[in-house]
Structures are given as structure tokens and as C-alpha cells.
């Protein structure tokens, strides 16, 4: 079973977005587990406060680090006070070690703030080394390759920001990976996370009825999927391409490949010529001579 733990102020958004269709069935069949943790349950006071004004001025409110830390620790049944006590002992040890011979793992060019952060991060890693992903417009852009990579993880932890975002210190302490859906801003990380979990879940064995289905999806092989058709064969004068009705499988596969190449060339030419210019990421380097001939032929006949 694949487990997704989500730290959020609005668990109902995640629940509503994933409890239906394929992901809903996957949850019901115990193929994936959705563990929703409401950060507000760990508020700093009886009024449910989880955010505060920004230091240095500015508009909006920022999510505080303490409730997020407590929410994250709750995933692993850890008590915040106990964690902070261990952190204090670890920090004292680091300071004492500066004057001892057991210093091989310490970098004493660090400032006291950096030493403090190092102590925090050591304690966090003792609790868990699960990957923590923070939904942020500053992050790496989520794509199919990342979805495939994340689908291999047993347990993923997600942090959804809201308001103006999250205090930087908790991001540093938890060593989060920042991931974005694109160059735009949402009111919170929850809608983006629903998209991400959907994309990851369908790659998990058993979630889709036919696991070959996702292998033909757009972007799975670096190309866009070809145009597809269903019944009726003639819809008010608009006909399905004759070759798809021929039953000649080799010709059909050839047609699909050529149309896939054409779709990519016309709609996403950047996929054929990666902007980085890197041969490793350049799809044009991976296309065979036959593929290029198919594309040229498609352009002529289109």
C-alpha cells in the first residue's frame, strides 16, 4: 500500500477531490492510504491560531512553524515536547563537541544559527527520512517524470501552504522539497496536491484496471498521445479515420505513431527540442530515422 500523509488546514478539499472515480476506488481497495492531518488541531492557543503577521511588514498572514512541526510529528506518534527536549540535548552535545576530539562530523566554520539548524535537521532525520513535499510556486515544476519517480516511494508527506505561505524556518528544519504545478499562484496548496496525488496514484500497480493504459498516455514516452475516437464511426458526417477501422494492426500502430509525432510537433515542439540543449534530455536525439520520416510524411499529408 502507498501512503500519502497530508498536512493541511483544509482536509475536506483533499477528501472531496480524491474520494471519487479511480482514486476513490484505490482508497476503498486499500491500494493507497490517505492520511489527512489538520494543522489547526495543533494550534498555538484555544482560538485555533495557526498564522500570524509577517516580520518586516507586508500584507497577509503567514503560517507559523510550531503547529506544522506538531502536525508532522503526529504522523509518527511523536510528542512535540519530547522532541524539543531531545533537540535541546542534541544542541548541548554539539556545543560541547566543539571542545572535544569527537568532532569529525561537525563543520565549525558554521555560525551558531547554522549549528542550531544542523541540530534540528539531525533530530528530524531521527524521526523519519520520508520525503516531505511543500506545494509552492517557487518549486520544481511537477511533470510525468516526477510522478513516476514519486510513485516508487512507500510513504510521501505533503505540506499545503495557505495565506501568504509558510515560515521559512520550518521548511529548512524539515528539509522540504518545493514542487509547483506551474508559474501561477493558487489560494492554497490543496488543489495542486489533488492533481499531484491523482497523477502519482494512477502509476501504482492495481490502481488502473489495465496498467498498459498509462504507458500510452501523453508525456509517458516523451510524446503527446495521438487523437482518439469511439462510436459511432460516422457522427453527423464526421468520420473516424478509415485506417482505424481496417483491423490491420501494423498499419494502425504506424498511423498512431505518426499522429503522436505530429501532435507533439504542432502542439508542444519544445518536447522535441529541449530548451536546455542537453543531449540527455533532448527527445529529438532519441527519435529514430523512421520516426522522423513518419513525422515528415504526416506533415505532408496533413
Q: What is the pLDDT of residues 204-255, one digit of tens each?
A: 999 998 766 556 555 556 789 899 999 999 999 999 999 999 999 999 999 9
Task: Check 66, 164, 178, 198 and give the catalytic one.
Answer: 164
Please report which confidence band the pLDDT of residue 274 belongs to, taking 50, 70 and 90 as the band edges. Answer: low
Active-site option among 177, 178, 198, 217:
217
Positive or negative, the CA dihedral 250, 251, 256, 258 is: positive
6-19: average pLDDT: 98
Do residues 183 and 228 share a domain?
Answer: no
Share of the chain above pLDDT 90, in %: 68
Same domain, 133 and 240: no
Residues near 105 by Cβ (< 8 Å), separated by ≥ 6?
none
The number of distinct structural domains making up the chain is 2
For residues 223 and 291, state if they share a domain: yes
Q: Report the Cα 120 to chain-centroid distance in Å.
A: 25
> In this structure, are 279 and 231 located in the same domain?
yes
Read off the CATH number of the domain in which 138 is found.
3.40.1280.10
Q: Secondary structure of the chain in the HEC alphabet?
A: CEEEEEEECCHHHHHHHHCCHHHHHHHHCCCEEEEEEEHHHHCCCCCCCCEEECCCCCCCEEECHHHHHHHHHHHCCCCHHHHHHHHHHHHHHHHHHCCCCCCCCCCCCCCHHHHHHHHHHHHHHHHCCCEEEEEEEEEEECCHHHHHHHCCCCEEEEEECECCCECHHHHHHHCCEEEECCCCCCCECHHHHHHHHHHHHCCCCCCCCCCCCHHHCCCCCCCCCCCCCCCCCEECCEECCHHHHCCCHHHHHHHHHHHHHHHHHHHCHHHCCCCCCCCCCCHHHHCCHHHHHHHHHHHHHC
Q: Between helices 112-127 and 80-97, what is the axis angle to 10°?
A: 130
* 112 domain residue, yes or no: no
Residue 159: inside a domain: yes
**CA 268, CA 211: separation in Å to the nearest integer?**
26
Q: Is 279 a catalytic residue?
A: no
The CATH number covering residue 297 comes to 1.10.1270.20
Average pLDDT over residues 13-26: 97
Does the residue 114 lie in any domain?
A: no
Same domain, 48 and 154: yes
Give 285's contacts (C-beta < 8 A, 6+ positions apart): 279
Asked if 24 and 141 sit in the same domain, the reply is yes
Asked if residues 202 and 214 have their Cβ atoms less than 8 Å apart, the reply is yes
Q: How big is the CA angle at 200 (ends 219 and 140), to the nearest 5 degrees?
A: 70
Structure confidence by residue, pLDDT tens digits, 116-148: 898 899 999 999 999 999 999 999 999 999 999
Query: Cα(129)–Cα(56) distance, rounded to whole angstroms?
Result: 34
Choose the catalytic residue: 137, 169, 191, 263: 137
The answer to whether the beta carbons of residues 82 and 69 sit under 8 Å apart is no
Residues 53 and 140 in one domain: yes
164 annotated active-site: yes
Is there a contact between 265 and 300 (Cβ–Cβ < 8 Å)?
no
Are 196 and 223 found together in one domain? no
In a domain? residue 97: no
Task: Give the domain-ending residue among 142, 168, 201.
Answer: 201
Residue 301 has pLDDT above 60, yes or no: yes
Q: In terms of DSSP bridges, do strands 131-141 and 155-160 run parallel, antiparallel, or are they unpaired?
A: parallel
Judged against a pLDDT cut of 90, whether residue 171 lies above it is answered with: yes
The string of pLDDT tens digits covering residues 142-170 is 999 999 999 999 999 999 999 899 999 99
Query: Domain for residue 210, yes or no?
Result: no
The 10 Å Cβ neighbour count of residue 126 is 13
> What is the model's pTM?
0.83
Residues 248 and 277 in one domain: yes
Q: Which domain holds residue 290?
A: 218-301
CA distance 252 to 231: 17
Among 51, 123, 167, 202, the one annotated catalytic: 202
Amino acid at each position: 500500500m502507498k501512503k500519502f500523509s497530508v498536512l493541511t488546514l483544509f482536509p475536506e478539499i483533499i477528501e472531496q477531490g480524491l474520494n471519487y472515480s479511480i482514486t476513490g476506488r484505490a482508497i476503498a481497495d486499500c491500494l493507497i492510504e490517505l492520511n489527512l492531518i489538520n494543522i489547526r488541531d495543533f494550534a498555538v492557543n484555544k482560538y485555533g491560531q495557526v498564522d500570524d503577521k509577517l516580520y518586516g511588514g507586508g500584507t497577509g498572514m503567514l503560517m507559523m512553524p510550531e503547529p506544522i512541526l506538531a502536525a508532522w510529528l503526529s504522523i509518527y506518534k511523536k510528542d512535540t515536547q519530547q522532541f524539543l527536549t531531545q533537540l535541546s540535548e542534541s544542541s548541548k552535545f554539539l556545543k560541547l563537541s566543539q571542545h572535544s576530539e569527537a568532532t569529525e562530523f561537525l563543520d565549525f566554520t558554521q555560525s551558531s544559527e547554522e549549528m542550531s539548524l544542523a541540530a534540528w535537521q539531525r533530530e528530524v532525520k531521527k524521526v523519519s527520512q520520508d520525503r516531505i513535499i511543500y506545494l509552492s510556486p517557487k518549486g520544481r515544476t511537477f511533470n510525468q517524470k516526477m510522478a513516476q519517480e514519486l510513485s516508487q516511494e512507500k510513504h510521501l508527506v505533503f505540506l499545503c501552504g495557505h495565506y501568504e505561505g509558510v515560515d521559512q524556518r520550518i521548511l529548512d528544519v524539515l528539509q522540504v522539497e518545493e514542487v509547483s504545478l506551474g508559474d501561477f499562484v493558487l489560494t492554497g496548496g490543496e488543489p495542486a496536491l489533488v492533481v499531484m496525488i491523482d497523477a502519482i496514484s494512477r502509476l501504482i500497480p492495481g490502481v488502473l484496471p489495465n496498467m498498459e493504459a498509462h504507458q500510452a498516455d501523453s508525456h509517458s514516452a516523451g510524446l503527446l498521445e495521438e487523437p482518439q475516437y469511439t462510436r459511432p464511426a460516422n457522427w453527423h458526417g464526421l468520420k473516424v479515420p478509415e485506417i482505424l477501422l481496417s483491423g490491420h494492426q501494423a498499419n494502425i500502430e504506424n498511423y498512431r505513431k505518426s499522429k503522436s509525432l505530429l501532435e507533439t510537433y504542432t502542439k508542444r515542439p519544445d518536447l522535441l527540442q529541449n530548451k536546455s540543449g542537453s543531449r540527455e534530455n533532448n527527445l529529438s536525439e532519441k527519435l529514430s530515422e523512421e520516426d522522423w520520416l513518419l513525422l515528415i510524411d504526416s506533415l505532408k499529408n496533413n
